[in-house]
Structure 1
Amino acid sequence: MNIVLLAIIIITCVISYIGFQQPEFFQKYKFEVGSIQRRKEYIRLLSAGFLHGDFIHLILNMYVLFAFGPFVIQVFGVVSFLIIYLGSILLGNLFCLYHYRNVPFYSAIGASGGVSGLIFAAVILDPVNIQLGILFLPLRIPGYIFGALYFGYSVYMMLNPRMNDNIGHAAHLGGAFFGLVYGVAMYPELVMQNALYVGIMALPLLYLAYEIFIKKRIG
């Protein structure tokens, strides 16, 4: 495993564990709209990406990071890997800040934005041949199907929020956008070759756009 990828996983696990044990630490560094708007605590836009709600949440994100990270590093390089991962966390949380700008108590945590950016950056380059397993199941599916399921879940949870969820589902989408744009900018010819699979993976995002921009207007 690349040392940079390993370092990110270890740092995330350590910070998340501290958050599990110290509620005041968790509250200080989680994403929270009101704290960012009123007190200008912009560090939360990045620090929230290293906090998680519980061990299952942490393991899921680190699993996907472990699965996609090596491919992204191999294709894009270490510097671009860091740009995609950290940039996706930031843009994902900025999207959350915009979407929930009138909900000052909204809060969220998790590396989902960064992980989503890596997924899109990786899968749009080779959506069929990247085979991913589902946790604890002896089943491997093409990356574009995994991506579609992952973002389908994110869109569903964003449109059907639950009390005390604390997971930044909107950050999945902002992060995905960053990774997608970065991948297109670096390898436009590969993206065009895989346009059909990219379109299939993007179906949940198109549905979200319909719900936000069209259905509300019609209603």
Structure 2
Amino acid sequence: MGELNLVTLIIIAVNVLISFKGFKDDSFFQKYKFNIADINRGAKYQILTSGFLHVNTTHLLVNMLTLYFFANSVIFFLGTLGFILVYLASLVLGNLLSYYFHKKDMHYTAVGASGAVMGVLYSAILLRPDMMLGLFFIIPVPAYIFGIGYLFYTIYGMKRQLGNIGHDAHFGGAVGGYLLTLLLASWVFEEHLLMVILLALPILVLFVLQKMGKI
């Protein structure tokens, strides 16, 4: 896994500082969380700022641990700037997809770095499809199997509105990581073409379902 890269440490620190500020200051939390009503009134900055807030320490810890485990692979292949672009683009795209699906729901709110972290995770899967992930931290599963399975589960979660989870932000973040990685590392098309095609399948399914009005 290697040492914790400085840019990863900075991103984790920013998430921790802003999240703990939000834990203690509700007015701060309310101002910067993702809130459809506020965004429709002009608070577009929430599309970015909400990605650095979290509901509680468990939510923060899970996201930062996932980032910690996969950031180095992305930094190794794409460099520091490429990693930052993947992180921020995935965060924004995840929230834009949330906005697209919930723009008429004035009560919809969300926080968390999950979209950004999912983007980093899917970027790492594209760059290193041979790596193994621990399902439930125990069962070894090939990264690409996890990636495809999770995106299909996310589509199901979006359709059924399962739990208090921003499935659409997760999906949008994963798509952001997928697209940015292909843009920044075109060699992936040659070396991992099958993975590029397989990971695109859930994205096409979501597009078709949305066009059919199923989501």
Same fold (TM over 0.5): yes
CA pair 156-63 structure 1, distance change in 2 beyond 3 A: farther
Q: In the TM superposition, what is the alpha-carbon distance from 1:215 to its structure 2 partner?
A: 5.8
Q: In the TM superposition, what is the alpha-carbon distance from 1:81 to its structure 2 partner?
A: 0.8
CA pair 9-83 structure 1, distance change in 2 beyond 3 A: same
Counterparts of 1:43 and 1:215, CA distance in 2: 29
- SS, match of residue 77 in structure 1: helix
CA pair 19-83 structure 1, distance change in 2 beyond 3 A: same
Partner of 1:142: 142
Q: In the TM superposition, what is the alpha-carbon distance from 1:32 to its structure 2 partner?
A: 0.9
Partner of 2:11: 8
Q: In the TM superposition, what is the alpha-carbon distance from 1:176 to its structure 2 partner?
A: 1.9
Partner of 2:51: 49
Q: In the TM superposition, what is the alpha-carbon distance from 1:174 to its structure 2 partner?
A: 1.8
**What value does the CA root-mean-square deviation take over the aligned residues?**
2.3
1:112/1:169 contact within 8 Å kept: no
Partner of 1:156: 156
2:159/2:214 contact within 8 Å kept: no
**Greater shift in the superposed pair: 62-71 or 188-197:** 188-197
1:30/1:107 contact within 8 Å kept: yes
- SS, match of residue 127 in structure 2: coil
Give the % identical residues: 38
1:144/1:197 contact within 8 Å kept: yes
Correspondence list, 1:48-127, <5 A: 48-127=50-129
2:20 aligned with 1:20, yes or no? no
TM-score normalised per structure 2? 0.86
Partner of 2:131: 130
Counterparts of 2:213 and 2:44, CA distance in 1: 33
The Cα offsets for residues 94-116 of structure 1, whole Å up to 9 and x where unpaired, read as: 22222222112211111111112
The Cα offsets for residues 31-54 of structure 1, whole Å up to 9 and x where unpaired, read as: 01110111x112211111111223
CA pair 201-55 structure 1, distance change in 2 beyond 3 A: farther
Aligned residue pair count: 212
The Cα offsets for residues 161-202 of structure 1, whole Å up to 9 and x where unpaired, read as: 257x2x432112222222211111222332344233344444
Q: In the TM superposition, what is the alpha-carbon distance from 1:5 to its structure 2 partner?
A: 0.1
Partner of 1:189: 187
The Cα offsets for residues 38-92 of structure 1, whole Å up to 9 and x where unpaired, read as: 1x11221111111122333222211221111011111101111111101111121
1:110/1:168 contact within 8 Å kept: no
Counterparts of 2:16 and 2:157, CA distance in 1: 24
Which residue of 27, 34, 39 corresponds with 1:36?
39
CA pair 35-7 structure 1, distance change in 2 beyond 3 A: same
Letter paired with 2:134: G
TM-score normalised per structure 1? 0.85
CA pair 4-36 structure 1, distance change in 2 beyond 3 A: same
Letter paired with 2:115: G
